[in-house]
Amino acid sequence: MNNEEAKKITEYIRSAGSNDTAIKIMLDMTAEAVKPEVRKELTSPVEDGNFDKSRAITFTTRELNKMPKTFKKLFKYNKVLAHVYKRKDGVYEVRCMINGIRYTGRSVNLERAKERFIEKLGGEDTSAIPDNNPFFPDYVLRWMETVKKPFVQESTYETYCATYRSYVEKKFKGKRIKEITSFMLQQYINHYVKENKSRTAKKIFIFLSPCFKYAVAEGIIDRNPLDVVVMGKYEQQHGTPLTREEEQTLVTALKKEKSPYAQAMVFLMYSGLRIGELPTAQLKDGWISVITEKTRKGLNEKVRSIPLNPILKELMPYIDFENIKKLNSNTIGRHVKDYFENHHTHDFRHTFVTRAQECGCRREIVSLWVGHSADSSITSTVYTHLEQNLELQLEEMNKFYYKV
């Protein structure tokens, strides 16, 4: 008998449900057939670690008390033993055969696998039943991974992750989803409203509402607690362009401070890019090419091109282009406050559109540069023509010049 055969026999003997004397005799006989160092391994308790073989597992008094009385005695007095196996995919399996019936509990978490094993002893098949009251932050993460990530661009998903870290992870730590009440959420929303941060309150509401709706559809909760939360009315801000004085302040800071964040802001202001498009930007022959952020995942990526305007050409020596592409978009957003109290990164894009129109650039070409869809007054044929007419675009962009 080799070591592997002995281990298999030992596992079978332990799960057979025989009496103590029979188990002891058979285990002693098996142990005599292998080397001393293997004997210890055959009877060693399992620890939560990386292992790839079945090991005996013990249950705490609390876990034993959850078992039906018949099974509780079997496990308490070691008349039967359960084993745990960690599969290659990271899933733990706690299993045992009693009177010819195999009981198995599975989970990526060892403690949860034990819980499901105990539930199976009670006659309920929980192998495919999800946790019916998970911790809320865990559920939000699972929802993001399963429902959002496969269908949105990476930059959009990063925005979801940032929202989760800022407004969910710490606030709801240790809270189970069924503990989250409408009053709790109303108080959370009210906090930001009182701080004059209605935009943030709205962001939290929009982020969490579909997650709760999904939990309702799964049958985990009966209703969406946000359904009755009052948001209150506030004027939606669609972006405010910088004044000429503010624009000059930022350009001056670029030249004097050489801050990478000022560099990024100036580049956004004179290119019209969305903040999430910056990492994809490329410079070649006086043109900026970028993957449009609004392209939905699963569709072909839409690449658009914007000619460098005369102002940006003059300022490019102050900008480390490859470096600003590596900056985190949320960090850039926080540093806007270094220069302006009431502006956001999207305002730089509005500034570009406003200045282009002030300089007399054709509206439909400006829409092309910033990645807007053609409106009802512009046929797709005309829009395509403008996109392909590089000389006309250069002619229009050369109008984009004034003293800063």
Residue-wise pLDDT tens digits, 112-163: 889 889 988 887 444 444 468 889 999 999 999 999 988 887 778 888 898 9
Q: Do the Cβ atoms of 404 and 306 come closer than 8 Å?
A: no
Q: Do the Cβ atoms of 285 and 305 come closer than 8 Å?
A: no
Closest residue by Cα to residue 166 from 16, 330, 342:
330
Q: In what order do the strands lie in the sheet with 282-284?
A: 282-284, 287-291, 303-307
Alpha helical stretches, state H, 151-289: 154-167, 182-194, 198-218, 244-257, 260-269
Residue-wise pLDDT tens digits, 358-373: 999 999 899 999 987 6
- Residue with the larger pLDDT of the pair 18 and 5: 5
Residue-wise pLDDT tens digits, 208-250: 999 999 999 988 999 999 999 998 765 555 578 999 999 999 9
**Per-residue pLDDT for 384 more than 80?**
no
Alpha-carbon gap, residue 245 to 264, rounded angstroms: 19
Domain spans, the chain: 3-121, 136-228, 244-397
- Which pLDDT band holds residue 50 (cuts at 50, 70, 90)? very low
Closest residue by Cα to residue 185 from 213, 225, 156:
225
Angle at 258 between CA 254 and CA 263, to 5 degrees: 55
What percent of the chain is modeled with pLDDT above 90?
Answer: 45
**Per-residue pLDDT for 380 more than 70?**
no
Residue-wise pLDDT tens digits, 77-106: 877 888 888 877 778 889 888 766 788 888
**Per-residue pLDDT for 32 more than 90?**
no
Closest residue by Cα to residue 394 from 376, 369, 373:
369
What percentage of the chain's residues is helix, strand, coil (to nearest 5)? 55, 10, 35
pLDDT in the model for residue 53: 56
pLDDT in the model for residue 51: 45
Least confident of 152-156, 249-253, 345-349: 152-156
136-228: CATH class: mainly alpha
Residue-wise pLDDT tens digits, 311-329: 999 999 999 999 999 999 8
244-397: CATH class: mainly alpha
pLDDT in the model for residue 47: 42
pLDDT in the model for residue 180: 96
- Which pLDDT band holds residue 381 (cuts at 50, 70, 90)? very low
Q: How does the average pLDDT of the chain come out, rounded?
A: 82
Q: Bridge partners of 95?
A: 83, 104
Alpha-carbon gap, residue 164 to 269, rounded angstroms: 28
- Which pLDDT band holds residue 5 (cuts at 50, 70, 90)? low
pLDDT in the model for residue 91: 81
